[in-house]
Structure 1
Amino acid sequence: MWGRRRRETGGDGVGEQRRHIGGAERRARLALRHRLAGAWRAADPEEVAGSLVALHGTDPATVYLAVGARLAEAGRTVPELDRALYGDRTLVRMHGMRHTVFVLPTELAAVVHASTGLPIAAKARAGLVKDVTAGSDGRLTEAWLAEVEASALAALARRGQATVNELTGDEPRLREQFIYGAGRSYESAQTVSSRLMRVLGVEGRVVRGRPLGSWTSTQFRWAVAPPHPELPVAEAQRELLHRWLTACGPASEADLKWWTGWKVTEVRRALGAVGAEAVTLDG
């Protein structure tokens, strides 16, 4: 198990003993760091998200439940999250670890994108180009797709936020269809709009905006992603791992590999970069 670095020596001052973290300490650490203990409840959603690094957001209700369990005034959960996500935009909903949607502090978007999103985005982009061109018998080309994409992004920038239906009104070519998985059991007709917006989301170029309906709705408007710097991958991975160990450690390499979606070699490189300390646990 790995935690943050803390050097401890034996009675003779030589060597380094492995620190032991018992079950009671682990529970106490999580209760405080995850804002679950009464006196440690958070003042706002930004504080919750920052304390947990990121909130799982594939199911919209999950974010509200996670925040409501940690706010000092739980009754303010819905309006406060709406303010942070759609008013102040201090929180952003985006694709991140394991190709999953998370809600996280906007200033962390560059770290998440560089540390976890780049290889996923490259694979998603290649798959989109291949499926569109092959599924249309060459009628829809990569150059055609790039032109439609630029037009759609320009329309989205003009609108601020928009549904896919609104964007297809501005750029009708988004309605074009192609056959996915031709000749296979899962063959289906897909629209360019649905696949393109997902890929742009993974690439960090668009983010999910206000839902269509209540806070439990699974249908969202889209918005142009806030700009963020391009970070070196190793630097971003080091920062993300440091934050996660601080919030959730101690953790095993398997825990870290699962949560980040990284390769084992990337996990170990980041552990070395943050100076992680091996510890022992009960059981």
Structure 2
Amino acid sequence: MISVSDEDRRRRLAGRHLLLPETRIDSVPAIADAVVALHSSDPVTVFLSIGARSNDLTVRDVERALYDERSVIRHHAMRRTLWVTTPEVAEFAHAATTRKIAASERARSAKFVGDADWFDEAVRQVVDCVRASPEPLSTRQIGELLPELRREIVYGEGTRHEATGSAHTRAVLVAAFDGDVIRGRPAGTWIASQYAWGDTRRWREIDWRAYAEHGGAAALVETWLRRFGPGSLDDLVWWTGSTKTSIRSALAALDVTEVSSSSGEGYLMTDDLEPPAEVEPWAALLPGLDPTAMGWKQRDWYLDEVAAARVTDRFGNIGPTVWCDGRIVGGWAQRPDGQIATEFTDAVTREHRRLIDAEVERLQTFVGDARFRVRFPSPNQRDLLA
């Protein structure tokens, strides 16, 4: 069995995820494809992940790709997470994961409402409302146009997490899972997440039925392996949110080779076994939930226990990180005055310190006057912001 060293994995990561200076590219869809999908649970992540992998892209360039050109879109997929992907990736990710999530969310929402037929009709009305509007609509505006859907519902009734909401917000969400409405420009600045809703067919023609579930799963697994491989079965199950049975079926449909690494047995595409070339020293500042940091379940080969205790919350979410040569060596935060503060959990050479300082300067230039807080703060954030 071919053995892939940790060093080879780090070199693969550096080049394929566009983290080397010579691999940076000024194309939003190409950057999204390089990591399969960009995490969008925190909208800041999308912009900073792109900024770290480009030379001259600006916040406005990212907004143009998302909201004007629609060369990348926001859509729920793997692990019920909100992602930014190219439409092509969205199609097979939708088949592999989102359809099941949509069905589950529809049934769950109907249970909250207490009437499945009423809720199905509510979703249809939301879709018709958005399609009839010449401009994108906020969730609040949809509720105003469809007041009969503003039925109060209770979440977690009888538990300490009990809360109330409106049925029309659930209907909007299910319509988005189905792919009938799509998130557009948010109200406020680029760090906001109160998105307006538009007609998917008007904004970007997407064929949500281009793939059957099995074909979508195979395409998703292949794409991940070419960007993140080698990866184990556990890595693939965790990243996709799928079952082991589904992943095994997808692997069986692909030409893969089993390999070994420090994480155990894993897989590479058979035409992708060549060891990567050596790379020059490099550094990167990646945002919280960056797809590189979050790409594997088994992370020991790039995240040691000391760093993990500082940059990872109790749910496994990784905050803003400092990288050197394919390893996380610390974390960072933006202070209220806009300055980037860093901390290190490992020794950093003078050369790497120079590279990190250059990345800090690039990050501050990209962000400009914007100020943000991490939505999923890691343990080190309080100290860095003190």
Using structure 1 for the length normalisation, give the TM-score. 0.86
**In 1: Cα distance, 2:259 partner to 2:184 partner:** 42
Q: Would the alpha carbon gap of residues 72 and 144 (structure 1) be closer, same or farther in structure 2, given more than 3 Å must change?
A: same
Q: Does 1:187 align with 2:162?
A: yes
1:242 corresponds to which of 211, 222, 228: 222
- Report deviation, 1:83: 1.1
Q: Would the alpha carbon gap of residues 36 and 129 (structure 1) be closer, same or farther in structure 2, given more than 3 Å must change?
A: same
Structure 2 equivalent of residue 158 of structure 1: 132
The one of the two structures with greater contact order (alpha-carbon pairs below 8 A, sep at least 6) is 1
1:206 corresponds to which of 168, 176, 181: 181
Q: Is the 8 A contact 2:92 2:220 kept in 1?
A: yes
**In 1: Cα distance, 2:224 partner to 2:240 partner:** 10
Identical counterparts, % of pairs = 33
Q: Is the 8 A contact 2:94 2:208 kept in 1?
A: no
Structure 1 equivalent of residue 305 of structure 2: none
**In 2: Cα distance, 1:281 partner to 1:188 partner:** 46
Q: Is the 8 A contact 2:39 2:83 kept in 1?
A: yes
Q: State how many pairs are aligned.
A: 257
Structure 2 equivalent of residue 132 of structure 1: 113
**AA matched with 1:86:** Y
1:114 corresponds to which of 90, 95, 100: 95
**In 1: Cα distance, 2:58 partner to 2:31 partner:** 11
**AA matched with 2:218:** R
**AA matched with 2:129:** A
**In 1: Cα distance, 2:195 partner to 2:39 partner:** 16
- Structure 1 or 2: larger helix share? 1
**In 1: Cα distance, 2:48 partner to 2:179 partner:** 25
> Which portions of structure 1, spanning 4 or more consecutive aligned residues, are displaced by more than 4 angstroms?
none
In the alignment, structure 2 segments of 5+ residues that lack a partner are 264-386
Using structure 2 for the length normalisation, give the TM-score. 0.64
2:61 corresponds to which of 80, 88, 104: 80
1:42 corresponds to which of 20, 25, 33: 25
Moved more, 63-72 or 153-162: 153-162
1:56 corresponds to which of 29, 34, 39: 39
Structure 2 equivalent of residue 70 of structure 1: 53
**In 1: Cα distance, 2:78 partner to 2:17 partner:** 19
Structure 2 equivalent of residue 138 of structure 1: none
Q: Does 1:233 align with 2:213?
A: yes
**In 2: Cα distance, 1:196 partner to 1:206 partner:** 11
- Report deviation, 1:229: 4.0
Q: CA RMSD in A?
A: 1.6
Structure 1 equivalent of residue 269 of structure 2: none
**In 1: Cα distance, 2:208 partner to 2:186 partner:** 27
**In 1: Cα distance, 2:94 partner to 2:103 partner:** 12
In the alignment, structure 1 segments of 5+ residues that lack a partner are 1-17, 134-140
Moved more, 196-205 or 232-241: 196-205
Moved more, 146-155 or 209-218: 146-155
- Report deviation, 1:32: 0.8
2:253 partner SS = helix
Structure 2 equivalent of residue 123 of structure 1: 104
Q: Would the alpha carbon gap of residues 26 and 178 (structure 1) be closer, same or farther in structure 2, given more than 3 Å must change?
A: closer
1:189 partner SS = strand
Moved more, 143-152 or 239-248: 143-152
**AA matched with 1:208:** R
